[in-house]
Structure 1
Amino acid sequence: MPFESFQKTCKNLRSFYEKGKFYDVQIIIENHPPNAKTFYAHKFFLCSQSPYFERQLIPDDDDINDKEENVTNLLVIKDISTEVFEVLFHSTIEFNDKSGLELFEILLGANKLKIEVLVHGIQSHLIEYQNEYLCKNFAMIYHPKTLDSNDFKFLTSILKNYIPLIRFIQFSSEQFKSMVRPYKKILPTELYEELIEYFLTPGIKLNSINTIPPPRHGLIDSTIITSKHAAFIASWVDRKDKQNIYFYPYECDENPYDFKLLLRGSRDNFSSTVFHEMCDNKTNTVW
C-alpha cells in the first residue's frame, strides 16, 4: 500500500477507535508507567500491516480456530514512548512539523513494530529533506557495533586524507571515548596508541604532535554564536571599544581567548537550577 493511501486509511479508522467502537485489541504503552496510555484497534488491520503485531496477536496458527470469537486482545508495549506510538498508531505524520531527531525516533519505533510502509516513507523523507541531520548525527544512526570489517575498510578509504586534519587534542576524554574510540579501526595504529596515552596522561608530549594540527583559537562550540561573535565579545573584554574612537574588533584568527561551553540548554536543560549548578562560581564567564 502506498504511503499516502496508508495514512488516509489510518485516518478513517482513527475516528472509530477514538470513540471506542469496532475494536478487538487494547494496546497499553507503558514506557513510563505513570503516563501509560491505552489505544484501541482492530486485530485484522494491525496484523495485515505489521508482522510484529501478527506475531504478538496470533502466536500460533494452530490455535486460531480454538480461540473464542469477539474476544478483546490485550497487548502491552514497554519500550516505545507514548508520543512516538501515538504518531505510529495514527500514521498521520506531518513531516514539516518534525525535527530530524523526532523523525528518527519515530523511524526507530516503526522499525521495531515492523510497519514497513512507515519505515520506507520516513526513510525517504529523511534522506531527501533531512540529509544535513543525518550527516551531523552519523554516529547515532550508524552505530559502530553494526559496522562490519568491509564497512570500516570503506570508511578508511574515504576518511584517510581527512584524519591528519582532525584536532584530536581538542577533544575531552569523554568525547574521545564516545566519538573516536569506537572508530579506532580507521585510525593509524601508532596515532591511536599515542592518543590513548595522551588522554590517560594529560600533558604528555606526543611524538606525532607535528601531524596533529594545533587548536584553533576562536573555535566555538555553540549553536547560538559564531567565532565572529566570540571575537567581538573578546574585544569588549579587552575594552578595545574604549581605547580608540575608531573601534576595530578582533578578527576570528586574532581572538586571544578560548571559549569553553559551560551549559547548553538543549543538552543540559533550561532550568535555573541547572544554570546555577553549572555556572555559579566560575571565573571569567560570559553569558
Structure 2
Amino acid sequence: MTTKFYDRLSNDLIQLLENPIDYNVTIEVGEAPISKIFEVHSYILQSRSPYFKKKFNESPFNENNVKELKLPNISVKVFNFIINYIYGGTISLEKLENSIIFDLLIASHELDLDELVEYLQTHLNTNNASWLRLNFAHVYQISFQKNFEIIQKFCNNIIAKHPDTILDSENFNSLPEDVLISIIRLDDLQLEEDKIWDYVIQWGKAKNQTLPANLNEWTSDNFLTLKTTLKLCLPHIRYFNISSEQVFKKLYPYQQLFEPKLWLDINAKFLAPNEPISSTILPPRNILNATLPTRTAPIPSNIITDEHALEISSWIDRKETPYTENNPYEFKLLVRGSKDGFDVNTILGICDKVSNTVIVLKVEGTGEIFGGYNPLEIRNNVSAWYSSQDSFAFSLKTENLKNSIVSRVKYFANAIYYDSGRSYLQFGGVLCLRGNLKTGKGSICSTSYYEKKIRSNADGFSIEEFEVFKVSPKK
C-alpha cells in the first residue's frame, strides 16, 4: 500500500513560491502601472503546463541566468490563482466574482492547464448557471473560440429549446461564422426551417452593409457577394423540410444563391416527391411533439436574472416558497443609470406618479446587488415621508452572498422618503440613495424603520449600474 502525503507536499511547494530560492524565471503579469513580476522555477512550471514548456524552450537566459517572460493579457489577480494552483494544486473560488472566474478560465486555457479548464467549466455550469445566462452572448462566443465543451453544451441546450435567446439578441449579427454554424447545425433546434433561413440571410446581409436595402435593386454581383459570405452556412439549411409556400415566398427571391442542381431538386421534390434526386437531404430537426412551455421574454436587465425576478415576485406576493417558473409579473424597464443618468432626481423625475416599482443596484467594486420594492407612487418635487405596509428592501444572492436577504418595513409611517431638493430616495434607513449614485458615496444601508440590515457594511457606496422597473401583473 502506498501512502500519499499530498497536503505536506502542496504546503512545501507553496512555501517555495512565497520564498523563491534559486528561481530562474521571472514572469511580468499585467500591464503597467498594475503589473507584477513573479519569480518562479522553470522545472515546476514546465512540468505542469505545456505552454510554459514551449515558452522556456524558446526563451534564452539573460546575463543573470534567468529567463524573462511577459503575460500582459492576464491580470495579476487571476495569475495569483493560477500560480498557486501550479505550485500547490489548490484553488479556492468561494469569494471570487463570476466574471473573475471566467477570466481565470480563459487564462487557464491560454496556459494549457487542461485540468483547471475542466474544473472551472464544471464549477460555472453547476453553481453559477444564472450568471452564464445573464452574460449569455459573451459566454457563448468565448466558449466556441476556446472550445469550452462543457459550457458549449450548456449554451447549446438553452439555444436549442429557446433559440430566440441568441437569435433575437442585439449581438446576433456580430456572431462569428463558426458560432452561427454551430447553432444552425443543431438537430434539436426548436425553430421552423424557413425561420432559420431568415436568420441566416439577416446575418449575411449584416456582414455586407453596402448591399441595397431593396432586393429588386440587387445585381448578380450583389447575390454573389452574399453567396460567398454564406458559403459555409448554406449547406446546413434543411431545404427539403420547408413547405412549398415558404420556398416560393422566402427562397425563390434568393435563387441565385443556390447551385443550379440544388435549386432544381428543391422544386422537383414538390412536383414529383417520390422521384430520386442527387442532392443531399438532411434529416428533419427533432421538434418536440409536446408544446414547449411559453417562454416569456427575459427580463430586460443588465443586473438581475430571470431567477432574481422570480424571487422578487415571490416577496411581493409574500410567498414562503419562491416562484421557480411562470413569473406572474412583468418587469418593464423605466430607468437605467448608464442610459438616463445616475442622479436620484433622475429617478424621481422620470418615475413621477408611477407606483409598484422595483429598483435594483449593483455596487461598484463588490458585485453586491440590492434594491427595494415600492408599492407607492414615486413623488417628485416633495420632501416627505410616506406610509406603506408592503414595501421591502433586499440583497440578492451572488457569489459573495450565500442567501438573499429581504427586509420588510417595520414602522409603516416611515416606509418611503422622497426629497427632490436634496436628491434623496430612501426605504426607511435600510436603503438610502442620495445624490449621484455613481460619482458620490453618500448612499448607505442601515436598519432604521425596517426589520433588518440588507448589508453588513455601513460605509457609503457608489453604484456601477442601477435600473428601475414597473412591476405589473401579467395579463
Q: TM-score, normalised by structure 1?
A: 0.56
Partner of 2:196: 188
Q: Tell me the distance in 1 between the aligned counterparts of 2:125 and 2:298.
A: 33
Indicate the RMSD between aligned Cα atoms, in angstroms.
Answer: 5.3
Deviation at 1:191, TM superposition (A): 6.4
1:61-210 pair list within 5 angstroms: 71-91=65-85, 92-143=90-141, 146=145, 162-163=162-163, 174=170, 177=173, 183=180, 186=184, 187-190=195-198
Match for residue 188 of structure 2?
Answer: none
Gaps of 5+ in 2: 185-194, 214-295, 317-326, 360-475
Matches within 5 A, 1:191-270: 221=301, 223=304, 226=309, 258-263=332-337
Partner of 1:210: none
Paired residue secondary structure (1:38): strand
What residue in structure 2 maps to residue 39 of structure 1?
A: 38
Counterpart secondary structure, 1:259: strand
1:25-54 CA-partner distances (Å, limit 9, x unpaired): 11111x231011111111111111111111
Could you say what secondary structure the match of 2:77 adopts? helix
3-state SS, counterpart of residue 76 of structure 1? strand
Instruction: Give the secondary structure class of the aligned counterpart of 2:23.
Output: coil
1:134-190, CA deviations, whole angstroms, 9 ceiling, x for partnerless residues?
A: 455443333186499xxx9xx999857745x87988x6xx45656899749645334
1:96-135 deviation digits (Å, cap 9, x = unpaired): 2234332221111111111233223323433443344445
Which one has a larger percent helix, Structure 1 or Structure 2? Answer: 1
Aligned to 1:143, the other structure's residue is in SS state helix
- Counterpart CA distance in 1 for 2:328 and 2:202 is 31
Aligned residues of 1:57 and 1:73 also touching (Cα < 8 A): yes
Q: Distance in 1 between matches of 2:332 and 2:350?
A: 14
Distance 2:158 2:297 in 1: 28
Cα 1:167–1:34 shift into 2, 3 Å: closer
Q: 1:42 to 1:133 in 2, by over 3 A?
A: same
Residue 16 of structure 2: aligned partner? 16
Given that residues 84 and 105 in structure 1 are in contact (C-alpha distance below 8 angstroms), is that contact kept between their aligned partners in structure 2?
yes
Structure of larger gyration radius: 2
TM-score by length of 2: 0.37
Unaligned runs of 5+ in 1: 202-215, 234-250, 269-273
* Structure-2 residue corresponding to 1:239: none
Structure with the greater relative contact order (CA < 8 A, sep ≥ 6): 1 or 2? 1
The answer (yes or no) to whether the contact 1:6–1:117 under 8 Å persists in 2 is no
Q: What letter corresponds to residue 79 of structure 1 in structure 2?
A: N
Which amino acid letter does the alignment assign opposite residue 13 of structure 2?
A: L
Q: In the alignment, is the contact (CA less than 8 A) between 1:26 and 1:41 conserved in 2?
A: yes
**CA 1:133–1:218 in 2, change beyond 3 Å: closer, same or farther?**
closer
Cα distance in structure 2, aligned partners of 1:167 and 1:18: 45
Separation in 1, partners of 2:351, 2:92: 45
Relative distance call for 1:32 and 1:279 in structure 2 (3 A) is farther
Give the paired residue count: 230
Percent identical residues? 20
Q: Kindly tell me: are residues 227 and 137 of structure 1, through their superposed partners in 2, closer, same or farther at Cα, counting changes over 3 Å?
A: closer
On the 8 A contact 1:218/1:252 being kept in 2, the answer is: no
